[in-house]
Amino acid sequence: MSDAATHTPTPARTPPITLVGPIGWVRTNLFSGWVSSLVSLLLLFLVVKWVLGFLDWGVFNAIWSVPNDAAGRPDTSSCRALAGTGACWAVIGEKHRFILFGTYPYEEQWRALLAILVFIALFIVSAMRRFWRKELALIWIGALTLIGVLMWGGLLGLAYVPQERWGGLVITLILATFGLAFAFPLSILVALGRRSKLPAIKALCVLYVELVRGVPLISVLFMASVMFPLFLPEGMNIDKLLRAQIAIILFAGAYLAEVVRGGLQTLPRGQYEAADALGLSYWKKTGFIILPQALRLVIPPLVNTFIGFFKDTSLVLIIGIFDLLTAGKTAIIEPAWQGFGIEVYLTVGFIYFCFCFAMSSYSQRLEAELNQSRGR
Amino acid sequence: MSATMEAVASAARADAPPAILLDKVNKWYGAMHVLRDVSLSVALGERVVVCGPSGSGKSTLIRCVNRLETHQEGSIKVDGIELSDDLRALDAIRREVGMVFQSFNLFPHLTVLENCTLAPIWVRHMPKAEAEALAMEYLERVKIPEQAMKYPGQLSGGQQQRVAIARALCMKPKIMLFDEPTSALDPEMIKEVLETMVGLAETGMTMVCVTHEMGFARQVADRVVFMDRGEIVEQGPPGEIFENPKTDRLKLFLSQILRGH
C-alpha cells in the first residue's frame, strides 16, 4: 500500500448561492459597498413612492366614466371634485374617437380605423425579412392606394370625405409613412450624389443638404403652407396636407442623406476596387456591394432619425393640420373637459411611445440578425 | 527536346500581339512622380513577377492595367484595347483582367459561393445554375469547395485569399493581376496561396504578380521586373536577375530581401 494509491477526483460543486443567480446579481450590482447600498435604497424608496403615487392617481382614485346632465352633455363635476388627486379617464372614453380620427365624419370613422389597421399591417409585413422581395413594392402601392380610397371615398359607394376633415392618428401615420417612404430613397440618391465624380451633381446635392439642414423644420412648413401658394398661378391650389408632406419629405431626405453618407464613407476602399476589378457597373456595384453593407452599418442612426421624424410630424400643428397631438389638444378645448390635459397628453404620448418603441426594438433585432449572418 | 519545344512556344508568343503593352507611361500623385516613362510588354501566357522596394510604384503599375488608377501620359493596351476614358473599352478590359488584392477584398455580406457567382451572373449574364457550377469547379481547384456556404469572416486569411483567386477566375479572365497576394498572410498560409498560384501558372494563364516571394519567382516567372522610384531598373529571366544583378540598386535590394529571409 503506497500513499499514491488512489485519487478520487473532487466532484464539481454548484457555486454558492451568494455568487450566482438573482441573489448574486443583487449583491454585486446593488449592494457591493455602503455607498452603493445607500444609493440603491434611496432610489428604491423613490421608485416605490412614485409608483404608488401614480397608481393612486391613475387607478385607485380615478374616475372612468361620467353621467350626462339634463342637456345630454357630460357632467364632469365628479371629476373636478377630485381636485387633481385622481385621474379623470372619462375624458378618454368620451374623446378617444376625436383623438384618433379628428373631425372625420362620425358615421364614417370605421374607414379611418381601417386605414390605421392597414398601416399597421403594412408595417408588420415590411418588417419580416421573408417578405423582402420585389413584390413588397407592389404590396406598398396596393396598401397606400387602399388607404387613399378609404380616406377619400367617393367611389365603391363610400361617401366622399374632403381632406380638410381628416385628422388624428391617421394624419400622423400618413405624414410619417409617406414621408419616410419617399425620403429614404431620396436620401440614398443624394448621399450617392454627394460622392459623385460629376461636379454638377455633387454641387447640387451639397447645396440641397446644406440648405435644408440650415433652416428649422417649422420654417420649411411655414413656407410650404404660406409662401408656396403665392408662387402658384391663380386658381391653382395644391392640397395643404400634400404641401406639408412634401416639406417633410425634403427635410427628412437631407438628414437621412447625411446618415447614409456616413455609412458609405466607412466602407473600405477595397470593396469599391474589388467590385470595379470584377467589371461591375456603377449601379450594380452600388446595389449589390456598397449599399447592402453601408445601410447595415447605419441601422442605429437611421432608426434614430426615423423615430425623430415620426415625432416631428407633430409640428404640422402650427399650420393647422389635425395630427394626433393637435387632435388631443383640441379635444380638451370644450369647457366641460378643460383642465384634463394630463390624461389626454399621457394617452397621446403613450400612442407615440408604442410606435417609436416598436421601431427601436425592431431595429435592434434586425441588427442582431444581420450580424449573425456574417458569422460575427 | 523540351528546349526546342520551349523555343517554339516562345516563338509563337512573339508572333501573337502582347497581352499587355505599356508605352512610356507616366503618373503623378499631385506633384509626386510615381511612374516615370515605364514601358513594358507582357506576352500572352507569359508570367511576370514585379518586385522592388516599397514606394517603387509596382502596385501603382499593375493597378493602372485595369484602371483602378489612371495614368496621365503614355498608352496602355490590354488585349489589344487601348485604355482611355471610354467606359465601354474599360468594361471590356475589366472582363478580361482578373485581380487579386493584398487584403483579399471579399464581399463580407455574401457567402463564398455568392462572391464567386455575382460577377459571372451580372457582368457575363451567365444563368445562375451555370455560374454556381463554374464557381464550385474553381473552388475545388483552390481546394475549398466545402466552404462554399460560409461567409468570408468565418475563413482564415489563406482560405480567403484562395476564394479571392477563385472569384477572379470565375470571370474566365485572360490575364490575372496579383497585388502582393501573400503580404497580409501568416507564414503557414503563404504556402497554400503560393501553391494555388503555381497551379494556376501551370495552366498557362498570363500572370503579372507583384510579390517579394523570390522562391515563387524562381519557380514560376518567365521574367522578373525590378522597379525603383517609379522606373523599371532591370528585367530578365529570374536566374539572371537573382544571380547576376547588374545594377547596384538591385544588388542592394536583393541583399536586403535575402537577409530578411
pLDDT tens, position by position, A262-311: 999 999 999 999 999 999 999 999 999 999 999 888 988 998 899 998 88
Note whether A271 contacts B97, CB cutoff 8 Å.
no
DSSP annotation of B84 reads S
Range in A17-26, A123-132, A202-211, A362-371 with the lowest mean pLDDT: A17-26
State the amino acid at position B87 in one-letter form: L
Residue A363 pLDDT > 70: yes
Grid-cell match 407615440, residue found: A352
Confidence of residue A136 (pLDDT cuts 50, 70, 90): confident
Range in A158-162, B184-188, B196-200, B208-212 with the lowest mean pLDDT: A158-162
Residue B259 pLDDT > 80: no
| Angle at B24 (CA atoms; ends B23, B29), nearest 5 degrees | 120
Q: Give the side-chain half-sphere CA count within 13 A for A195.
A: 19
Confidence of residue B11 (pLDDT cuts 50, 70, 90): very low
Residues of A in contact with B122 (CB under 8 A): 280, 284, 288
Confidence of residue A376 (pLDDT cuts 50, 70, 90): very low
> Quick check: helix, strand or coil at residue B65?
helix
pTM over 0.90: no
Residue B221: which of B234, B203, B208 has the closest Cα? B208
Nearest Cβ partner for B94 among A270, A277, A289 = A277
Note whether A374 contacts B106, CB cutoff 8 Å.
no
Q: Round the average pLDDT of chain B to a whole number and report it.
A: 88
Residue A347 pLDDT > 60: yes
Q: Round the average pLDDT of chain A to a whole number and report it.
A: 84
Which ipTM value was assigned to this complex? 0.88
Residue A2 pLDDT > 70: no
Note whether B106 contacts A274, CB cutoff 8 Å.
yes
Residue of B nearest to A289 (CA): B107
Residue B212 pLDDT > 80: yes
Pull the grid cell for residue A19: 455568487
Rounded CA gap, A263 and A367, in Å?
14
The mean per-residue pLDDT over the stretch B208-222 comes to 90
Note whether B118 contacts A270, CB cutoff 8 Å.
no
Confidence of residue A112 (pLDDT cuts 50, 70, 90): confident
Alpha-helical regions (H) of chain B: 2-15, 58-65, 87-96, 112-122, 128-141, 157-169, 187-202, 214-220, 238-243, 248-260
The mean per-residue pLDDT over the stretch B102-131 comes to 93
Residues of B in contact with A268 (CB under 8 A): 103, 105
Helix axes A199-213, A169-194, angle to 10 degrees: 140
Confidence of residue B15 (pLDDT cuts 50, 70, 90): low
pLDDT at residue B2, as a whole number: 46
The mean per-residue pLDDT over the stretch A69-89 comes to 74
CB–CB of A289/A134 below 8 Å? Answer: no
Range of A108-122, A124-138, B97-111 with top mean pLDDT: B97-111
Grid-cell match 448621399, residue found: A191
pLDDT at residue B49, as a whole number: 94
Range in A43-47, B20-24, B89-93, B96-100 with the lowest mean pLDDT: B89-93
Residue B167 pLDDT > 70: yes
Range in A62-71, A198-207, B15-24, B241-250 with the lowest mean pLDDT: A62-71
CB–CB of B47/B220 below 8 Å? Answer: yes
Confidence of residue B14 (pLDDT cuts 50, 70, 90): low
d(CA A301, nearest CA chain B) in Å = 20
Percentage of the residues of chain A whose pLDDT score is greater than 70: 95
Rounded CA gap, B59 and B68, in Å?
11
Measure Cα distances from B261 to B40, B212, B219, B250, B257 in Å. 29, 10, 17, 17, 7
Residues of B in contact with A279 (CB under 8 A): 91, 94-95, 119, 123, 171
A174-311 is classed CATH 1.10.3720.10? yes
Rounded CA gap, B170 and B199, in Å?
16
Higher-confidence residue: A68 or B148?
A: B148
Note whether B123 contacts A276, CB cutoff 8 Å.
no
Nearest Cβ partner for B108 among A273, A275, A374 = A374
The mean per-residue pLDDT over the stretch B23-27 comes to 92
Residue B32: which of B9, B14, B56 has the closest Cα? B56
pLDDT at residue B234, as a whole number: 92
pLDDT at residue B8, as a whole number: 47
Higher-confidence residue: A236 or A186?
A: A186
Range in A37-41, A151-155, B61-65, B142-146 with the lowest mean pLDDT: A151-155
Residue B61 pLDDT > 70: yes
The two beta strands, B175-179 and B206-210, are parallel
